[in-house]
Amino acid sequence: MKTLRVILNCIIFVILTLLISCEKPENEPEFEPLTPQIHLSVSSMDFGEVLIGKDSTQSFGISNTGDTLLTVESVSFQDTIFQIVSPDFPREIASEGSITVTVGFFPKEEKAYSDNLVVTSDDPDESEVEIFLRGAGLKPEFEPHSLEWSQTFGGSDYDGAYSVQQTADGGYVLAGWTDSYGYSPWLIKTNAMGAEQWSQTFSSGIEAYSVQQTTDGGYILAGWTCDSYEISRDDALLIKTDAEGTEQWSQTFGGLEDDYVNSVQQTTDGGYILAGWTASFGVSGEAWLIKTDAIGTEEWSQTFSGAEVNSVQQTTDGGYILAGNGSGVLLIKTDVAGVEQWSQTFSGTEVHSVQQTTDGGYILAGWTWSSETAGGIENVLLIKTDAAGVEQWNQTFGGSDDANARSVQQTTDGGYILAGWTDSYYEEDGYSYRDVLLIKTDAAGIKQWDWTFGDFMNDDEAWSVQQATDGGYIIAGYTDFYESNDCDALLIKVRR
């Protein structure tokens, strides 16, 4: 009996010992599940004043301070004035990770704007967090593509400009002709606001069609001169001046018939390339390319049958690209010695300007007859080619009356700016008065905007355009005053 009691006590002790060992320690921590936790770097964003039609962007950070993956499901606004620029949502953020979100402000009216940006995520404690946004739309002081200023130059007779270039000091140089101050080529230098600083005339010529600032700070002009009024034979003319427009030397080129050049450019070797038309060399009436050294001495010349060249540019390979008119629109590519490498013709009537584009191709501008009016109306013509001169596209622009382009340049945004004139805007007694025409296109030649300038009862024409360093456009041409029966050179600055 005593033995049995001892055995039972032992069994009870063992059971109690086991029960005690299975009890949970009082200080053992509770198990907590893994959760994400969202954190925003800002609670508000102020975009300040932004011009209507422009935009402003700011960025903020979303981070995950939790210990498991965070899913940001959306970022939303009440108004489309504020928009997410990047990135797209939904988006996952790893533990201790972060992303940057860029928000854009696009005001449409002159007023104050505010909104709440709402970030939605799978954070169990804060499924929605907000950032307060504010900004104000500001009306620009000036409308885009509007007149900044205009200047005229001339006397009591006929004067005008065919070419303009922005100079290294931020001003402008114009070349053309003057009858008021001697029947001669005319060179005008202005400051950045178009105010005349000096002008020069040259007894050695009649008109200057093209001007460029040279690497020494002077200027090179190309045009034509007459041997004598009795013979009345025209020769091509090249004039070099110093920085003040004082003639340093001049050269003439030609034979027994009429010859002239329309375009000049300084070449990479310090010489000059000229292009135009000759009746003295080759078969009568041919395109003409002349290369000179740094003092205007002819090094070589080439002719190309059946054409007139209105524009030339040295290409990146050291050769030359020429554009003009033949049996249609003509584009000629030569090597460094002026030997033709290829030529292309295009549908159209005349082309007056060519430039090599940043993709290695070429852009041409001129005019063509409108097929819709059976050849009765001139339309602006724009042609884009590849590096081999193969047409990639063409565009025409026009109204109810004639429109013509004399100059084209590729712009910094990859598009193109064209200048010329249109007859479509003023009419009296059945006559259309010409206005300066400026057309801006995108890279595919699609018109983005156009702009006209002119006074009633005047004919106003643009012959040259260049994008200025501030993004605006400088235009040169002339205005013809019917009431006073004279004409002045015209310089126009247009805002971007």
Q: What is the pLDDT of residues 228-282, one digit of tens each?
A: 544 567 999 999 999 999 999 999 999 988 999 999 999 999 999 999 999 999 8
The pLDDT tens digits for 348-400 are 999 999 999 999 999 999 999 876 544 578 999 999 999 999 999 999 998 77
Tell me the pairing of strands 298-304 and 308-314.
unpaired
Determine phi and psi for 244, rounding to 5 degrees: -100, 5
Greatest Cα pair distance, the chain, in angstroms, is 162
CB-based burial, 401-411: b 16+ in 10 Å, e otherwise: bbbbbbbbbbb
Number of residues that make up the chain: 496
Please give the pLDDT value at position 224.
93
- 38 closest CA partner among 59, 60, 61, 62: 62
Residues 489, 160 contacting (CB under 8 angstroms): yes
Delimit the CATH 2.130.10.10 region(s) of the chain.
Answer: 147-494
Prediction pTM value: 0.74
**Class of the domain covering 38-138:** mainly beta
- SS3 at position 445: coil
Q: Is the domain defined by 147-494 classed in CATH 3.20.20.220?
A: no
Write the CA distances from 443 to 100, 270, 384, 398, integer angstroms: 32, 32, 10, 19
The pLDDT tens digits for 20-40 are 555 555 555 556 788 999 999
Strands (DSSP E) found in 442-472? 447-453, 458-467
Delimit the CATH 2.60.40.10 region(s) of the chain.
Answer: 38-138
Tell me the pairing of strands 219-226 and 234-241.
antiparallel
Determine phi and psi for 99, rounding to 5 degrees: -135, 160
Write the CA distances from 159 to 114, 178, 186, 229, integer angstroms: 57, 4, 9, 20
The pLDDT tens digits for 279-290 are 999 876 799 999
> How far is 493 from 11, CA to CA, in rounded Å?
110
Judge whether residue 94 has pLDDT over 80.
yes
Tell me the pairing of strands 44-51 and 128-138.
parallel
The pLDDT tens digits for 116-175 are 999 999 999 999 999 999 999 988 766 778 899 999 999 999 999 999 999 999 999 999
Residues 107, 138 contacting (CB under 8 angstroms): yes
> How far is 221 from 236, CA to CA, in rounded Å?
11
Please give the pLDDT value at position 485.
77
